[in-house]
Structure 1
């Protein structure tokens, strides 16, 4: 099996250009049906990027990346690299990533009217989640087994998106800098040789494509910076013909949305939330809920009813709070 891309070089920080995983609390905004489904199943659903509310976001990211690639093309020093990596840009990055990517959208706070209006409605719910630890698409195997069964292409890990919780990048300069750093790293002889040693001559292209698609999913127009969004990125690893297929489906209006169930794998050597509060885990996964807020337009008993839902699911350490935002016009 291929080596993790983070370890492909011997230097202390071989890939500083990859988006760093973020930690802290992610607030996921949802309606009443979503709140019940998440708490009762103790899982989130990562929706297919094919049915994002606004797929033009990926087109925006692809544009930023293309502009940086065009700048690199102006340098005669990198002709060999351009010939090697050019096929990545001959592909349509955005349509390709739509086939693979599943996303959970959240926010780093509960005071964003954009999140209440856009995702939960003011009479909805915000669920606080601890982003630390190993979050993954739910499966029945042991840690790592999903990779062994996965319907991946011949380049294995190197073709994988950089999965996990990430901060969305809004500033154009940060977006350009992240893309430029990745492309410049790929021009180094050491980087290409290390990749080729692992998976052969086509490995640099597979790796670059996956990392660019990761960046693409995290770039958003600066006009939306007030949303303070964080995203969980995950691929569908199980092909229909290989391994168990965990894909689920939900609806939004008349649209059918493919989705992957996601939760945090319990680390037996660490203190999980359920162990911490004296509750024995009933499986390999947990939903690390750290708080719940009910929307500013909810009725007077909404927080009490949310507490009953949490208690019935065994998440009894959470005391739901009412949003401090004033009532929002809808």
Structure 2
């Protein structure tokens, strides 16, 4: 899904660090490069082009059942070693080009503000010092935007640290990659469809003209907290559902002793 608030939070951290930078330590050229990147419209475009597939490092966490799954919810374990890619059904091929300002993949979310600022400073210091130069010239601004975009896409407000979130970060491949919408508790939610690209390659985008996508990388399924009388029925139905769709995965019952009260 495309979460505007989280991407905006990362951009705020990035610009706060740059605005507090001691410019006396930089050459005029370095200051210009930094200002150009930090004020780049490309970084602002991340708000419309970046998508998060959010998960939790704990598959049976009380706060996740309470905050997201609700009564009789399910937790699906994902194999993060498997590669995912947005499905492009536009038929446009590579005509739109690839907007590359984040390295797609799985990342652990960073909540600590001090760690967030440290990482931003590390990337900026590398890019604007000798490490960020090639043949005596500074890195292309596109490379710096990609480093910074990948870092800030991992940031989240510290008040959410109990969620222990991990996320797959994906990019919308320009305006030609179809964007979908679904309703949610917060309103209309934009998203892109992720699939497992066929073969061994780590494709950034999967096209219908390729071989059919592989099955989703599911490892197990946990049924949420429920009364003992219902838990067995729920687990049995969930097992049959997985089998009907071709998934040979383990089905567990939640170990959380929590009851949802219906009003």
TM-score after normalising by structure 2: 0.81
1:43-58 correspondence to structure 2 within 5 Å: 47-50=1-4, 55=5, 57-58=6-7
1:133-144 correspondence to structure 2 within 5 Å: 133-139=82-88
- Change in CA separation of 1:191 and 1:95 when aligned onto 2, cut-off 3 Å: closer
Aligned partners of 2:20 and 2:186: how far apart in 1? Answer: 43
Instruction: State the match for 2:77 in structure 1.
Output: 128
User: What CA deviation, in whole Å up to 9, does each residue of 1:39-68 have, x standing for no partner?
Assistant: xxxxxxxx1234xxxx1x333322322232
Q: Secondary structure at the match of 2:169?
A: strand
Residues 112 and 226 in structure 1, CA contact (< 8 A), matched pair in contact too:
no
1:257 has 2:189 as partner: yes
Unpaired runs of at least 5, structure 2: 202-210
Residues 60 and 221 in structure 1, CA contact (< 8 A), matched pair in contact too:
yes
Residues 59 and 94 in structure 1, CA contact (< 8 A), matched pair in contact too:
no
Instruction: State the match for 2:212 in structure 1.
Output: 283
TM-score after normalising by structure 1: 0.66
Instruction: State the match for 2:8 in structure 1.
Output: 59
- Change in CA separation of 1:233 and 1:254 when aligned onto 2, cut-off 3 Å: closer
- Change in CA separation of 1:206 and 1:311 when aligned onto 2, cut-off 3 Å: same
Residues 181 and 191 in structure 2, CA contact (< 8 A), matched pair in contact too:
yes
Instruction: State the match for 2:249 in structure 1.
Output: 318
Q: Secondary structure at the match of 2:107?
A: strand
1:1-330 correspondence to structure 2 within 5 Å: 47-50=1-4, 55=5, 57-91=6-40, 95-139=44-88, 149=94, 151-152=96-97, 159-189=100-130, 191-193=132-134, 204-240=140-176, 245-252=177-184, 255-268=187-200, 283-297=212-226, 299-300=230-231, 301-315=233-247, 317-329=248-260
Aligned partners of 2:94 and 2:241: how far apart in 1? Answer: 36
Residues 7 and 153 in structure 2, CA contact (< 8 A), matched pair in contact too:
yes
Unpaired runs of at least 5, structure 1: 1-46, 270-281
Aligned partners of 2:78 and 2:186: how far apart in 1? Answer: 29
